[in-house]
Amino acid sequence: MAFESLFNCRRLLLYYVAVVFLFLSACSKDTVKPETDNKNTDIHKYEIQKLSYFLSENDKIDTVKVGFAAEEFSNPSAVLINVWHKEVFEDLVKTSVFQFDKNGKELPKDFDKAYFEVSVPEIYYGDGRFSYYTDRFSLTDSLLTKPYNHQMSFSMGLNIPAKSKLILEKTIDRYNITCSFELIVRNKKSGELFTLNGKWKGVLRYTNESFKVSQKDLD
């Protein structure tokens, strides 16, 4: 009987130990906190309420003629030949940089401007309106460059006289702009508004393709 009583006591002790272990384990799990990405949390506190572009007194649009390496088409034969040629304007880029004024209400430090991608101008109309480029750019004050996404190609027939070569030269106009912008940012939780002004500089677009063909005798 004494042995059986001792055995039962040990079983009861093991049972209580197991219960205490399970209770402590459950408590420790409840106190574990999930990791959070503070940067993402801060970013999603804000939204761009308005971004507008306009030309002010000191703003301007410049036109630059861009040239390319000449191409040659030779005909060493004794008869005229015709060549069908497709000309492509490659290596054209769209650029963007936002230069922020120091005046006005300062944006909160946890607002990451570079996180937000926005539309930028492509065409300026005489009545002050803009149309916008299809790709968006980050609101950064660092110069960004992307390939110009408008396919610009032209097909032409070239008649090359006997014992001669044709030299094809091409140019295109690039429109650069410096314009003003006003950015209004809203704290989605508090409703507080922050206004920032500055200049946007970049390539508007490319247009006015031009071709020149000259002929020379083969040496």
Structural domains present in the chain = 44-215 (2.170.15.10)
Q: Which of 39, 40, 87, 70 is nearest to 167 (CA)?
A: 70
Q: Which of 151, 199, 155 is nearest to 177 (CA)?
A: 199
Which DSSP category does 77 fall into? Answer: S
**How far, rounded to the nearest angstrom, does the alpha carbon of residue 214 sit from its chain's CA centroid?**
40
SS3 (DSSP) at 23: helix
Percent of the chain having pLDDT more than 70? 79
What is the Cα–Cα distance from 219 to 217, expressed in whole angstroms? 6
- Asked whether the CA dihedral 106, 108, 110, 111 is positive or negative, the reply is negative
Model confidence over 91-116: pLDDT tens digits? 899 999 999 987 656 677 788 888 89
User: Rounded to two decimals, what is the model's pTM?
Assistant: 0.73
Task: pLDDT band for 151, please (50, 70, 90 cuts).
Answer: confident
Task: pLDDT band for 6, please (50, 70, 90 cuts).
Answer: very low
SS3 (DSSP) at 21: helix
The CA-based angle 15-17-22, given to 5 degrees, is 95
SS3 (DSSP) at 110: coil
Mean pLDDT of 137-165: 92
Percent of the chain having pLDDT more than 90? 61
**Structure tokens given for 90:** 């490659």
**Structure tokens given for 99:** 């230069």
